[in-house]
């Protein structure tokens, strides 16, 4: 079973419409997407609480919990799916509200299969783009990204030289005292100078740089966590995992799984 298979949820209280959409999408998807259905908004809310839904296709008018109520509820979800709404011609005012609430497109009944598939493909492309953006956000350390030694005139030559050395020797044992000695500076003076010009203490900058490099290796290589720990300058993978979890709130293996859909664990 694929770890990264995506889910499409169809919500409609009319069985023929619901099953018709499901059958059309199942033939089109050929197993590359999981197609789920809900008979009404209440069932859909339950599913949305326990599953990650990538695309929601919902009727706008349903008893108890309408499609509009369903869309509003998604504001409380950390991961909001792409949304397509279904309506009759007489309900277009509901469609307008749904679009204002974040739906990306709509379909009018009776549904045309070709139009359905075109709209679904477009929504899934949007979802992929959103996911790509989220992954880039997770990959980048914004404090490091804000620092551009080449164009930052407030960074003097000694600190600039230190930053370059750290980039090139990240796999080695690096301490502030050793770096100060290499630059022929007093350690206390170098410590103050570094923090003042970089905006981070030397130890925090080094830690962030190592975790940033580790994130890149986790995503772009199949090196083990232990091998990556060594490449970014940690003597033991146990300590590396501890530092990584402190910065990212999850383990290196879990990070790799979230970013690539693969796992280091035996299933």
The string of pLDDT tens digits covering residues 120-142 is 999 999 999 988 888 888 888 88
87 C-beta neighbours (distance < 10 Å), count: 21
58 C-beta neighbours (distance < 10 Å), count: 24
CA distance 126 to 207: 35
Query: Which of 6, 219, 1 has its CA nearest to residue 125?
Result: 6
Which pLDDT tens digit goes with each residue over 14-56?
999 999 999 999 999 999 999 999 999 999 999 998 889 999 9
Domains annotated on the chain, with CATH: 6-134 (3.40.50.2300), 142-260 (1.10.10.60)
CA distance 103 to 52: 17
Q: Does residue 266 surpass a pLDDT of 90?
A: no
Which pLDDT tens digit goes with each residue over 157-174?
999 999 999 999 999 999
Task: Give bridge partners of residue 58 from the DSSP assignment.
Answer: 11, 85
- The total number of residues written for the chain in this structure: 267
CA distance 101 to 99: 5
What is the pLDDT confidence band of residue 4, given thresholds at 50, 70 and 90? low
CB-count burial class (<10 Å; 0-12, 13-18, 19+) for 67:
buried
pLDDT at 151: 61
pLDDT at 2: 47
Are the CB atoms for 208 and 176 separated by under 8 Å? no
CA distance 13 to 88: 14
Q: Which two tokens stand for residue 75?
A: 């504001």
Share of the chain above pLDDT 90, in %: 70
Residue bearing the bigger pLDDT, 2 or 120: 120
């Amino acid at each position: 079973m694929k770890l990264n298979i995506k889910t499409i949820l169809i919500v409609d209280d009319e069985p023929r419409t619901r099953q018709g959409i499901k059958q059309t999408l199942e033939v089109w998807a050929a197993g590359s997407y999981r197609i789920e259905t809900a008979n009404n908004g209440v069932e859909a809310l339950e599913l949305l609480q326990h599953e990650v839904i990538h695309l929601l296709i919902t009727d706008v008018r349903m008893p108890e919990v309408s499609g509009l109520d369903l869309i509003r509820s998604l504001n409380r979800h950390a991961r909001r799916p792409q949304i397509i709404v279904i309506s009759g011609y007489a309900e277009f005012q509901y469609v307008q509200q749904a679009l204002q609430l974040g739906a990306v497109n709509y379909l009018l009944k009776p549904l045309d299969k070709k139009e359905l598939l075109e709209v679904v493909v477009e929504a899934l492309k949007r979802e992929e783009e959103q996911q790509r953006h989220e992954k880039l956000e997770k990959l980048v350390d914004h404090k490091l990204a804000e620092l551009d030694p080449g164009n930052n005139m407030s960074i003097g030559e000694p600190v600039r030289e230190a930053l370059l050395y750290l980039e090139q020797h990240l796999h080695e044992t690096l301490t502030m005292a050793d770096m100060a000695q290499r630059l022929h500076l007093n350690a206390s003076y170098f410590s103050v100078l570094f923090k003042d010009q970089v905006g981070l203490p030397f130890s925090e900058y080094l830690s962030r740089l190592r975790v940033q490099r580790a994130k890149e290796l986790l995503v772009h290589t199949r090196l083990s966590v232990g091998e990556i720990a060594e490449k970014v300058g940690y003597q033991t993978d146990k300590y590396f995992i501890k530092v990584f979890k402190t910065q990212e709130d999850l383990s290196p293996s879990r990070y790799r799984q979230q970013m690539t859909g693969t796992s280091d664990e035996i299933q």
